[in-house]
Amino acid sequence: MGEVRSGSGEAPELDAVVVGAGFAGLYQLHLLRRLGFATRLFEACEDVGGTWYRNRYPGARCDIESTAYSYSFSPELDQEWEWSERYAAQPEILRYLRHVADRFDLRRDITLNTRVDRAVYDEVRHVWTLALSGGETVTARFVVLATGCTSAVKEVDIPGVGRFGGRILHTADWPRDEPDLSGQRVAVLGTGCSGVQAVPELAARAGSLTVLQRTPVYALPAHNRPLSAAEAAATKADYPRYRRAQRASRGGTLFTPPTRSALSVEAAERTATYEEGWRSGVLSGLLRTYTDLLSDEAANETVASFVRGKIRDTVADPEAAEALSPRTFPFGTKRPCLESGYYAAFNEPHVSLVDLRRTPLVEVTAGGVRTTEREYPVDTLVLATGFDALTGSQTAMDIRGRGGVTLREKWSDGAANHLGLVASGFPNLFTVLGPLSPSVLSNAVTAAEQHVEWIADCLVHLRRHALTEIDATPQAEREWCAHVAELAGRTLYPSVESWYTGANVPGKARTFLAYTGGMVEYRARCDAAARDGYAGFALARAAGHAAEPAAGATTAAGATTA
Ligand code: NAP
């Protein structure tokens, strides 16, 4: 049982505030409400959807199969919703989330167009006071940050951006009215997953497209296609089994784990295996073939060179093919992408590639962009330059925990928390899909559901024992951070400059920000902590706080099946 201390004070207006109306926040609101907690959700955008509301650039599409990238908590929802494509496009995922908000009557507790700017913890009352963008304040016992792992847009510090005479669009903040790019000279800066998805669609719309690439990525073909009525029926019939298996899986998608080293088989056999992975159209189709692709550089090079070969097979111009071939980091250590026509786009006469490694970007001018070699005239500049991932959406808020310390200060040397859920010194503040959890290395919807349910069960536990505060102990936090770093150190991930390590944001501390142990192990550790009375956490009761009668179901599992 975690340590129990005492505080003092009166009850807040709300039991819980949820920040963000994406996959995680909507389910958190639903579950807490079902469990009888007075909960409100605040969302900065004009509607629900989170990342799927904002990232509406042409080509935006999920790269986990839609039948897997969807909630598993409601068998009824599974039966009534029908995905039209293997990989759903952004508008369809947004429709799904709107449907979820309506179906579970969530909107009455959601305040849109409202940012949480500031959150201050009262150590005596065990209450958070939140300052909202509209000027209001609200008090709540608990705060759940469901603010997304890739949602805080990275500031782009390219000289001259302010004097550009054309239009600048960001993939993560795409206008609701589709911009007319016909006949325009469009340039796109950034070739991560967003850029890779946008390029073929921008090429189809623009007069000319210049792709400004600093680091090439490894992209695999999506083989996206419509789903037939028969497939949809088969999926629905199998959903009860599938959802159980998904929840028990390592990453929220189902596959048979590899058993052999890539270096233990003949080259011909390896190539045949990689061909199969390539044809599968699955993001992890290559990574899941051998055990050591993410831990051994020589093993990794076998798959990296296979992908480079595929790029050469697709891109007609050998110079462009070479520039598009990653050589500076192992395959999979930056998130791979799924592509639908990305490499083929470079065979079109109006699409050109500028290799910024060879000719670095100097500045944005009034009429375009200038590299060390020449100026490229541009009407619309598309930024696909990424996010301050995993921590940025939380540190963007002025969050003050014990002693007035801000989360920004606490994490200035690197994110720290216990079990990826609570940062020591910031009691009653939970992060969903935040740093040091499996989040971005798994199916984010499955990972979010696990967090949401753990948090809901935790609040029920506190209520049952008339407790008003949970904080991570400094020792448990140190041990968790060390464990996460130790596991990551067995892989090739930490050595690479990527958003996984914070290296994409100038000045950000370099730590590997995700849990590499997989969801099975992670879930077991979270469940064990709860079973042991929230081991690693300090629990406390504010003075004068009396036990409240519990309303409704008493576990997350009970609430979802009630
Ligand atoms: P990203 O992976 O961080 O890629 C950003 C790109 O912009 C990189 O090519 C980067 O080059 C370039 N860049 C950034 N700043 C630059 C600068 N100042 N000058 C030149 N180039 C610059 O961002 P993202 O593509 O938006 O993707 C982020 C993550 O979001 C993905 O990895 C994925 O997890 C998620 N996402 C998912 C989907 C999906 O499910 N389908 C789609 C989109 C995004 P360097 O590499 O050289 O820094």
Pocket test for ligand 1, best of 150, 390, 505 (most atoms within 8 A of CB): 150
Q: Which domains does the chain have, with CATH numbers?
A: 5-153+389-550 (3.50.50.60), 155-217+334-386 (3.50.50.60)
Look up residue 262 and give its amino acid: A
Q: Which two tokens stand for residue 101?
A: 């908000």
Q: Looking at ligand 1, which atom is closest to the CA of residue 64? A: 40
The rounded distance, in Å, linking the Cα atoms of 220 and 500 is 20
What are the angstrom distances between the C-alpha of 135 and each of 43, 110, 131, 132, 467? 15, 17, 7, 6, 31
Span from the CA of 478 to the centroid of ligand 1 (angstroms): 30
Span from the CA of 499 to the centroid of ligand 1 (angstroms): 8
Q: What is the total residue count of the chain? A: 562
Q: What confidence tens digit (pLDDT) does each residue in 189-217 have?
A: 999 999 999 999 999 999 999 999 999 99
Q: Which two tokens stand for residue 427?
A: 């009691």
Is the distance from the beta carbon of residue 59 to the nearest atom of ligand 1 less than 6 Å?
Answer: no
User: Is residue 69 scored above 80 in pLDDT?
Assistant: yes
DSSP state of 10: P
What are the angstrom distances between the C-alpha of 148 and each of 57, 127, 423, 432? 18, 24, 17, 8
Is the distance from the beta carbon of residue 387 to the nearest atom of ligand 1 less than 6 Å?
Answer: yes
Calculate mean pLDDT across residues 54-82. 97
Prediction pTM value:
0.96
548 falls in which pLDDT band (50, 70, 90)?
A: low
Is the distance from the beta carbon of residue 196 to the nearest atom of ligand 1 less than 6 Å?
Answer: no
What are the angstrom distances between the C-alpha of 478 and each of 51, 412, 493, 535? 31, 15, 21, 14
The rounded distance, in Å, linking the Cα atoms of 428 and 13 is 15
Pocket test for ligand 1, best of 504, 505, 508, 513 (most atoms within 8 A of CB): 504
Is the distance from the beta carbon of residue 395 to the nearest atom of ligand 1 less than 6 Å?
Answer: no
CA angle 389, 390, 393 (to 5 degrees): 80
Q: Looking at ligand 1, which atom is closest to the CA of residue 214? A: 47
Q: What confidence tens digit (pLDDT) does each residue in 256-301 have?
A: 889 999 999 999 999 999 999 999 999 999 999 999 999 999 999 9
User: Is residue 545 scored above 90 in pLDDT?
Assistant: no
User: Is residue 414 scored above 60 in pLDDT?
Assistant: yes
Determine the number of helices (DSSP H) and then strands (DSSP E) in the chain: 16, 21
5 falls in which pLDDT band (50, 70, 90)?
A: very low
The rounded distance, in Å, linking the Cα atoms of 535 and 538 is 8
Q: Who contacts 136 (Cβ-Cβ below 8 Å, separation ≥6)?
A: none
The rounded distance, in Å, linking the Cα atoms of 514 and 209 is 35
Is the distance from the beta carbon of residue 439 to the nearest atom of ligand 1 less than 6 Å?
Answer: no
Going by alpha carbons, the residue nearest to atom 30 of ligand 1 is: 150
Q: What pLDDT is recorded for position 558?
A: 77
